[in-house]
Amino acid sequence: MIKIELVTQITDSACGQACVAMLAGISLEESLKLFGHSHATRTHEIIKVLRGLGFRTADRLHVGPFKRPTSWASKCRGLFHVRWRKNRHHWVVHDFGKVFDPLGYTDRKST
């Protein structure tokens, strides 16, 4: 399993591409090429790109009512879709208790 390195997004809406780059251990440029754009990503686009890179994914986004990762937090790695305002959405990577935000923030105390 690769070590997650923070990749920051280059536009206000390229968080999905940056998160895929972090999970796959590829550059942001490579991820942007796989998506074919640098604007907001939809769940089905992320699934398609991750599967193309050999990842196993769910068929759709699974929504959970959590504010902070709980007992499972130190046991998994994944991509989270965060909603912080009515129409504001953002992708972040969760890695065994650590949150990597492509806006440039890494939360080392998430558990």
The per-residue pLDDT for range 86-108, each reduced to its tens digit, is: 777 889 998 888 889 999 876 65
Is the model's pLDDT at 2 over the cut of 60?
A: yes
Q: What is the dihedral of CA 92, 95, 71, 58, to 10 degrees?
A: 70
Are 80 and 94 spatial neighbours (Cβ–Cβ below 8 Å)?
A: yes
What DSSP assignment string belongs to the chain?
A: -PPP-----SSTT-HHHHHHHHHHT--HHHHHHHHT-SS---HHHHHHHHHHTT----SSPPP---SS--TTGGG-EEEEEEEEETTEEEEEEEETTEEEETTTEEETT--
- Give the confidence band of 83 by pLDDT, cuts at 50, 70, 90: confident
Give the number of other CB atoms < 10 A from CB of residue 99: 20
Which residues are CB-contacts of 67 (< 8 A; sequence separation ≥ 6)? none
pLDDT of residue 108: 54
d(C-alpha 89, C-alpha 71), whole Å: 25
Best CA proximity match to 102, nearest among 9, 38, 11: 9
pLDDT at 14 over 60: yes
The pTM of this model reads: 0.84
pLDDT per position as a tens digit, 22-78 = 999 999 999 999 999 999 999 999 999 999 999 998 888 766 555 555 555 667 788
